[in-house]
Structure 1
Amino acid sequence: MSATLVPETGSASATMRRNFWRGVWRVMRRKPSRMAGVVIIVGFAFMGLFGSLFYPDPLPDNPAAIIQPPSWEHWFGTDPQGRDVLALVVTGSRYVLLTATVTAIITVVVGTSIGLFSGFRRGRWDTVLMRLTDMKLTIPGLPLLLVLATVWKFGSPLQMGLVLGLLGWGGVARAVRSQTLSLRERGFIEAARGLGLSTTHIIGKELLPSMAPYIAMNMLIAVTGAVYSQVGLFFLGVLPYESDNWGVMLNLAVFQAGAMITPTALGYLLAPLLAILLLTLGIVLVVDAMDEIFNPRLREE
């Protein structure tokens, strides 16, 4: 009997996966803008992973081409060291995107875990965890980062992502707890508890799938928040310029190349700004499809 049930179970699971991905494909095709968002995000991921293969690291200086205006050879011009600005955007994306990814993972994992456990268990655990979350939310992030920057160089994107992630989970924890409090009173959760299923099973198999679109959206939003945070810190000159990234480019474009008053250096300023705006646009377009992707009823409409 058991030998015949296993293939059937595996076949049903495979069928569900195929139906899910077909539904995702239909949702993405419904609006061309969503496909454009996927292309943008995949393009940035490719740039961050393989961009260094196309350009040497570090990029060589060229004294004969200092602060050149945009041209066919240099689409966004050159920087004060004569390096191609577009190449700087590509090579600098690795630090920015890796930091944003690490930040998003830590923010969502920590915030979701605390919010789910607190909202489901209630009682003393809920009180303790929410007081810790409230304390976390009251800590001003920027002043703390300024203090940490005096003793920690943030030369590694993993270090930067770790700090930003540990500073950013409070809002996710609060929001997930609210969602959990609403879901735990639903009939399917009551039925699971009535059957004597473990807390781990209920959270992992019942609550998490229902909250998947909300968690996925928070992860994408955390990526944009991490990009803005780190770029802002480098632009303000708070962090040392130990690695090329978009924030360093913006700082040097304004305060060294004089991009605000020198037309030939304007491309040095616009290139990282356009990269940030394009990445944000791609994430916004994908977030637009999240609810339909994870809601079977909306996928079928």
Structure 2
Amino acid sequence: MRTNAKALTGVIMLVVFVLLAVIGPWIAPFDPSMRSNALLQPPSSMHWFGTTHLGQDIFSQVLAGTRSVVFVGAVAGVVATVLSVLVGITAGYLSGTASEGLSALSNVFLVIPALPLIIIITSSLPETSNLTIALVIGLTSWAWNARVLRAQTLSLRRRDYVEAARANGESTWRIILFEILPNLYAVIASGFVGTVLFAVISEITLAFIGVSDAGGWNWGTVLYWAQSQQALAQGAWWWFVPAGLAIALLGTSLSLVNFGIDEYVNPRLRTRFSMRGVRMRVGFTPVLAKETS
């Protein structure tokens, strides 16, 4: 991370969002639901992001909504990653009916459109809390990562060190945990980041179309009220631009981290330095840079 500018930038931006998620509701200058007489006011020294048609402070709404977005993204990412690791690695290492059954299960979830399925499930539930939305997203978005992990495991199961462990009488689960899993950490991390990004976009989409609880605040709720009150037609750009920029910046930070992981995993994407006498990495083997005249 220290030598990859894109990954380092993404991590710094992500840490800022996580920090805002933790302390955002405490440092918000106003209650995000509190009404005032400053109706639909542009940004000012008192209201940094302006106010809504009810006089609510938009800056406070964006700060309070950060916690919901980060929470849903993190929980959904953990749930989907755990399922993808369990199903993908097991299906790749085992053979026979168990492997075929897990692979078929992944294919079923893979061909079902994820976002429409999430909307249908969420809208049919009696309660749509942040935890419920995170669990629904996580339980329906693991198939792609499981498919990738299965393919990687199939390529690792016949490696010499795995065969040696098997010949020494090591148990199946010990081989999976200590021989195969450590070689998949970067792929798992990349899948986790991608799932978090998908979960964030999905939660904001649910709030924007009114499926989730409109009483709780997240960036999608801010955009929902801005769209329902025709903020664009009224020229109230400050109502939807801050939330849109927050979504774009969070997506950018996650994408930069994902790009950094991809460059670490794939030697073809890794930046190569040609400084004289400096040790550089090509693939996973350190070599000396070629002398230049």
Normalising by the smaller structure, the TM-score range is 0.7 to 0.9
Give the corresponding residue for 1:282. Answer: 253
Q: Note if 1:212 corresponds to 2:185.
A: yes
The structure with the greater share of residues assigned to helix is 1
Deviations 1:157-206 (A, max 9, x none): 11111000111111111111111101112222112212211111111111
CA RMSD of aligned residues (A): 2.2
Matched letter for residue 255 of structure 2: V
Matched letter for residue 205 of structure 1: F
Give the corresponding residue for 2:202. Answer: 229
Give the corresponding residue for 2:290. Answer: none
Unaligned runs of 5+ in 1: 1-27
Give the corresponding residue for 2:239. Answer: 268
Determine helix, strand or coil for the equivalent of 1:29: coil
Give the corresponding residue for 2:96. Answer: 123
Report the TM-score when normalising by structure 2.
0.85
Matched letter for residue 245 of structure 1: N
8 A Cα contact 1:48 1:97, kept in partner? yes
* Aligned pair partner of 2:54 in 63, 70, 81: 81
Identity of aligned residues (%): 35
Report the TM-score when normalising by structure 1.
0.83
CA distance in 2, matches of 1:158, 1:166: 12
Matches within 5 A, 1:11-30: 28-30=1-3
CA pair 36-211 structure 1, distance change in 2 beyond 3 A: same
Q: How many residues are paired up?
A: 272
CA pair 141-153 structure 1, distance change in 2 beyond 3 A: farther
CA distance in 1, matches of 2:109, 2:255: 27
Unaligned runs of 5+ in 2: 267-280, 288-293
CA pair 33-175 structure 1, distance change in 2 beyond 3 A: closer
Deviations 1:237-267 (A, max 9, x none): 23331311111111111121x222222x211
8 A Cα contact 1:155 1:243, kept in partner? no
* Aligned pair partner of 1:200 in 165, 173, 178: 173
CA pair 150-49 structure 1, distance change in 2 beyond 3 A: same
Greater RCO structure (CA 8 Å; 6+ sep): 1
Matched letter for residue 83 of structure 1: Q
CA distance in 2, matches of 1:73, 1:56: 9
CA distance in 2, matches of 1:56, 1:86: 8
Question: 1:39, CA displacement in angstroms?
Answer: 1.2
